[in-house]
Structure 1
Amino acid sequence: MAAAGDGPWLDDAAGRLVRPFTVSNGRTEPSVALDLISQVMATGVTPLGYLGPEHAQALDLCRAPVSVAEVAAHLKLPAVVTKVLLADLVDCEALTTKPPAFHHTPTDRSLLEAVLDGLRRQL
C-alpha cells in the first residue's frame, strides 16, 4: 500500500483507496463549463492555497494543450470529478480553457463519416 504522501492512493489488490468524489469534496458541478473535448493548458500561474495531489497531477498533465477526456484517463478518475478539479484550477487562473472549435456541427453526417473512414483505415 502506498504511503499518504505518495501520489494517488492505490493498493494493488483493492485499487483506489480514496473514493473519486472525495477528491472533489463531493462536488459534482464544475464552476466552469467544460466539454470532454475542451482543451486545457497551464498558464504558469502558481495556485494559491492548498490544492490536493490530484490537482497537482492534473496541472502537470496540462503543460501542453490536452483534452479534458485525456486528463481524466491519465488521472483514472470519472470525467465529472476531473471537470471539477480542472474548474478549480481555472478559477485560480492556473489553467486556461478553450472550448472545442467545430467548423461543422459535431453531429454533421459528413464529419462523422470522415471520422469513421479514418478509424477504419487505422484498423
Structure 2
Amino acid sequence: MSEDGQVSSHWFDDDAGPVVRPYAMTRGRTTSTAQHRLDLIAVVVTEPAAGDPETDPTLSPEHVDIVGLCRGTPQSVAELAAELDLPIGVVRVLVGDLVHAELVHVTRPVPPAELPDESILRDVINGLRAL
C-alpha cells in the first residue's frame, strides 16, 4: 500500500529494485534430487561439454549465473551463495537443478577421517628421500 492509501501495482522498491522472493526462484521447492550431496563445502564444477546455458529457456538467470561463476573457477556452495547474495537453501536447489541437467557436477573434499595419517606421509617422504 502506498503512502496515499492506494494499493501499489508493482513489486519493487525504488531504492532496491525488483524484489524476487527466494521461493519464486526455486518454484516453491526446498529440496532437489541431488540435495543430499550439497553441503556448504561441496564444490560445483561446470561440465566441459556444457553448452551456452543462456540459450536454454528452462534455466533462470540465477542458473545461468551459477554456471558462469563455476566455468572459470570451481566454487563451493557457500561461495556461490555469497557471490549471488542468495540463501544457501536456494543455491542448493538451483545447483541440484543444474546437476540434473548435467551442466555442472559436484565434488566433495575428502573428509578428514579419510585422509592418511600424517605419520604415514612422513614415513613415505623419508623413504623417498632415502632413495
Would the TM-score normalized by the shorter structure come out above 0.5? yes
Which residue does the alignment assign to 2:70? 62
2:80 to 71, 78, 81: 71
| Paired residues, number | 96
Aligned-residue sequence identity (percent) comes to: 43
Deviations 1:88-116 (A, max 9, x none): 000011001112312238xxxxxxxxxxx
Query: SS of the counterpart of 2:106?
Result: strand
User: What 5-or-longer segments of structure 2 have no aligned partner?
Assistant: 1-11, 115-131
CA contact (8 A) 1:39 1:66 kept: yes
From the two aligned structures, give the one with the greater helix fraction.
2
Which residue does the alignment assign to 1:3? none
List 4+ stretches of structure 1 deviating above 2 A. 10-16, 46-49
Larger Rg: 2
Task: State the 1:82 CA deviation.
Answer: 0.3
User: What 5-or-longer segments of structure 1 have no aligned partner?
Assistant: 1-9, 106-123
TM, length-normalised to structure 1: 0.69
CA contact (8 A) 1:38 1:68 kept: yes
Q: Which whole-Å CA distance do the structure 2 matches of 1:82 and 1:16 have between them? A: 19
Which residue does the alignment assign to 2:32? 30
TM, length-normalised to structure 2: 0.65
Query: SS of the counterpart of 1:41?
Result: strand
Deviations 1:27-71 (A, max 9, x none): 001210211100010013135551000000011111121100000
Aligned residues: CA RMSD: 2.1
